[in-house]
Amino acid sequence: MASATKQILDTIFASSDYGLDDYLRDLGLKSPEAEPEKLARQRLLTNKQACEYLQISPTTLWRLVKQRRIKTVNLRGRARYDVQELDRFIRRSQR
């Protein structure tokens, strides 16, 4: 997929939890696997992206948020996860 086309589609899907990968899957097309390096370049991640970034299940992420071990950013009423906050969580967990 051309870079410009992908950027346009990413922009379109950025405003919802229904992403490009979901759209491609619904069309029966194989979606590219999430690249941790690509996720690290983004500032705010969706629930699904944060789970992929941390390599944990949605239930575990929800539990960590509820325990206030991970902070969320509310953007238009939807939870987003700052990559820097996720990196801090990883560093704190390694101690």
The residue among 72, 94, 93, 75 whose CA lies nearest residue 83 is 72
11-42 residue pLDDT tens: 766 666 666 667 777 777 665 555 555 655 67
Which distant-in-sequence residues (6+ apart) come within 8 Å of 78 by Cβ? Answer: 17, 46
Same domain, residue pair 7 and 24: yes
- Using DSSP's 3-state secondary structure scheme, residue 45 falls into strand
- C-alpha 23/C-alpha 11 separation (Å) is 14
What is the per-residue pLDDT for 95? Answer: 75
Same domain, residue pair 39 and 22: no
What is the extent of the structural domain holding 22?
Answer: 1-32
Same domain, residue pair 93 and 47: yes
Same domain, residue pair 27 and 44: no
Same domain, residue pair 2 and 16: yes
Above 70 in pLDDT, residue 70? yes
- Domains in the chain: how many in total? 2
Same domain, residue pair 11 and 55: no
